[in-house]
Amino acid sequence: MKKRNTEGSRKACKKYYCGHKQYFKDFHKKYYTIHRDERIKYSKEYYISHSREIKKQHRENNAQHKDKMRAYWRRYNLKNRERILKYKELWRRKQGIMPKGCHKGLEIKIAKILEPLLGTEYSICERTVLKPYELDIWYPKTRLAIEVQGAHHQKPIWGEESFKDTKRREVIKRRLCKEKRIDLFELVIKAGNFYVGKIGLKRLKIFVTDEIRRLQIFISNIRG
């Protein structure tokens, strides 16, 4: 029996394919277009009938390449961190979700209370205006910023160092708002050490009634 010249036949096939490349492309395109629905139907039926085996195979592959995949995604996330964060932020804003790292339930409630007075066009934990510092509630149309100051702004609840740092940030924010011509209002919640973040809107209104009156005067002075 003659020994087949595999190398020669491989070269001949490659040469033939290169010479008829466009023909093969057009043929495949035409074939897939005609039989598209059949292929989709067959794929669905095949997946349904073999779903257990496919899932099992996926689990085995994931377990086998777990460390490799983790390392790959870690490298990818580090390389594209800025871009990922940007698109995540845009998605969160579209969905009406707070920015990542922002856990300001109190600010959201106060913004809801102020909606009849200031409207619904606001953002919570806004970091793009005074980079890298954040504004608790920001109204872009009127260029009004509201800083909600709880008990930790008035006394060193979490230690002297933290209190000094809070006061330092307050001074910087006031200066930056003055430079950028932003009207900054500091809404002080006089509730002692009582944590008001978890209470309802009705009870929260009791703590901020005087501050809302002060805010109304502040807004009338700006507009007048």
List, in order of start, the domains of the chain with CATH numbers: 8-58 (no CATH), 102-223 (3.40.960.10)
Kindly report which listed range (47-61, 79-93, 144-158) carries the lowest average pLDDT score: 79-93
Q: How high is the pLDDT of residue 193?
A: 42
Is the model's pLDDT at 191 over the cut of 70? Answer: no
**Where would I find the beta strands (DSSP E) of the chain?**
123-130, 133-139, 144-149, 183-188
Q: What percent of the chain has pLDDT over 70?
A: 82
Task: Count CB atoms within 10 A of the CB of residue 199.
Answer: 16
Query: Does residue 208 sit in helix, strand or coil?
Result: helix
To the nearest whole number, what is the mean pLDDT of the chain? 79
Reported as a single tens digit per residue, the pLDDT across 84-121 is: 877 776 676 565 555 554 556 778 888 888 888 888 88
Where is pLDDT greater, at 184 or 209? 184
Is the model's pLDDT at 63 over the cut of 60? Answer: yes
Whether 109 contacts 195, CB under 8 Å:
no
Is the model's pLDDT at 192 over the cut of 60? Answer: no
| 133-139 and 123-130 beta bridge pairing | antiparallel
CA atoms of 52 and 146, how far apart (whole Å): 55
Is the model's pLDDT at 163 over the cut of 70? Answer: yes
CB-based contacts of 169, cutoff 8 Å, min separation 6: 133
Where is pLDDT greater, at 189 or 75? 75
Find the radius of gyration of the CA atoms of the chain: 31
Maximum alpha-carbon separation in the chain: 104
* pTM beyond 0.95, yes or no: no
CA atoms of 47 and 116, how far apart (whole Å): 54
